[in-house]
Amino acid sequence: MKIKLLALVSLIIISVSCQKDDDNNINNYIPNIAFDTQNSIDTSLPQYNDLQFAGNHLVLNAFGYNAIVIYNVGNGNYVSFELTDPNHAPSDCSRLSVEGITATCNCEDGNSYNIVTGAPFDGTDGNFSLKPYFVEVNGSVIRVYNN
């Protein structure tokens, strides 16, 4: 009887001590913009041809909040991120510039992020990584979207 009571008390304590902490992962700086590139990114076309090769990236200004970057990770895998600094309010300087695998904020803070993982580099102010977007590949067509 004591074992059942102890187990019940332990279960109650564990249940009460666990709490959902999703509020810390919500970035209120970047609005959730719905978009879909559909069939517009076809790597057989000259303007998108570089995306066929691992290690290459492409910046598209027509999608996302400021722009998006698509990066070829290799083996037919791609990632895509928003090119707006996630760690401060959007402004004229918060659009990120891409050089190699580094996306850098043009504001005074100079925050920088890895466009392969989305993670901030050391010295970046704030806790947020780059906002990721969904990527699907069908043959030579890359679809990037956000719901």
For residue 110, tell me if it sits in a domain: yes
Task: Mark the ranges of the chain whose per-residue pLDDT is less than 70.
Answer: 1-2, 4-24
Strand runs labelled E in 1-147: 35-36, 41-42, 57-60, 68-74, 77-82, 96-99, 102-105, 112-114, 132-138, 141-146
Count of domains observed in the chain: 1
> Three-state DSSP class for 137?
strand
Q: What is the pLDDT of residue 26?
A: 84
Domain for residue 54, yes or no?
A: yes
- Within a domain: residue 39? no
Q: Is residue 33 a part of any domain in this protein? A: no
CATH number at residue 99: 2.102.10.10
Q: What is the pLDDT of residue 142?
A: 98
Instruction: Identify the domain containing residue 78 by its residue range.
Output: 47-147
**pLDDT score for 4:** 66
Query: Does residue 95 form part of some domain?
Result: yes
Give residue 3's pLDDT: 73
The answer to whether position 90 is within a domain reads yes
